[in-house]
Amino acid sequence: MLAFRLSLYGCQRLALKLRLGLAQHSGNIKLVNRILAIFALADGLSPQQVASTLRVSDQSVLNWLSAFIQDGVDGLKVGSAPGRPPNLSKSQRKELALLIDSGPVACGFSGACWRSPMIQQLILDRFGVYYNVYYISQLLRNLGFSYQKARFVSDHLDELKRKEWVEKSWPQILRLAKEKNAYILFGDEASFPQWGTLSYTWARKGRQPAVKTSGRRKSIKVFGLIEYFTGKFFYKSMEGRLASQSYQEFLKEVITKAGKHIIVIQDGAKYHTSKAMREFFSQHQEEMTVYELPTYSPDYNPIEKLWKKIKEGYTHLHYFESFEGLVEKVEEGLKEYANRSKEVLRLFGMYKEMAAA
**Is residue 151 in a domain?**
no
- Closest to 30 measured CA to CA, from 92, 120, 116, 108: 120
Domain final position from 27, 48, 76: 76
Domain contains 153: no
Residue 152 maps to a domain: no
pTM (2 decimals)?
Answer: 0.59
pLDDT score at 316: 81
Q: Are residues 311 and 179 in the same domain?
A: yes
Q: What is the mean pLDDT of residues 234-251?
A: 95
- In eight-state DSSP terms, residue 299 is G
Number of domains in the chain: 3
Quick one: pLDDT at residue 1? Answer: 46
Q: Is 205 domain-assigned?
A: yes
- Domain of 34, in residue numbers: 10-76
Give me the sign of the Cα torsion angle 115, 117, 121, 124.
positive
My answer on whether 96 and 201 are in the same domain is no
Q: Is the pLDDT of residue 91 over 80?
A: yes
Q: Within this chain, do residues 344 and 291 fall inside the same structural domain, yes or no?
A: yes
Residues 293, 336 within the same domain: yes
pLDDT of residue 128: 79
b/e per residue 86-109 (b: at least 16 CB within 10 A): eebeeeebeebeebbeeebeebeb
CATH code for the domain of 274: 3.30.420.10
| Mean pLDDT computed over every residue of the chain | 87
| Within-domain flag for 298 | yes
Residue 266 shares a structural domain with residue 207: yes
Could you tell me if 165 and 134 lie in one domain? no
Same domain flag for 111 and 188:
no
Query: Which of 32, 53, 76 is a domain's end point?
Result: 76
- Report the pLDDT value the prediction gives residue 196, as an integer from 0 to 100: 66
Query: Which of the given ranges, 48-52, 97-101, 203-207, 229-233, has the highest pLDDT on average?
Result: 229-233
Residues 313 and 287 in one domain: yes
Q: Are residues 199 and 305 in the same domain?
A: yes
Q: State whether 70 and 192 are in the same domain.
A: no
Asked if residue 81 is part of any domain, the answer here is no
Last residue of a domain, one of 21, 42, 76: 76
Residue 4 lies in a domain: no
Task: Determine, yes or no, domain membership for 67.
Answer: yes
Same-domain pairing of 228 and 291: yes
**Torsion angle defined by CA atoms of residues 124, 126, 127 and 132, in that order, rounded to the nearest 10 degrees:** -20
Both 281 and 199 in one domain: the answer is: yes
Write the pLDDT tens digit of every residue in 193-226: 887 666 667 777 777 777 676 666 789 999 999 9
pLDDT above 70 as % of the chain? 90
142: exposed, middle or buried (C-beta count within 10 Å: 0-12, 13-18, 19+)? exposed
Residue 80: per-residue pLDDT: 53
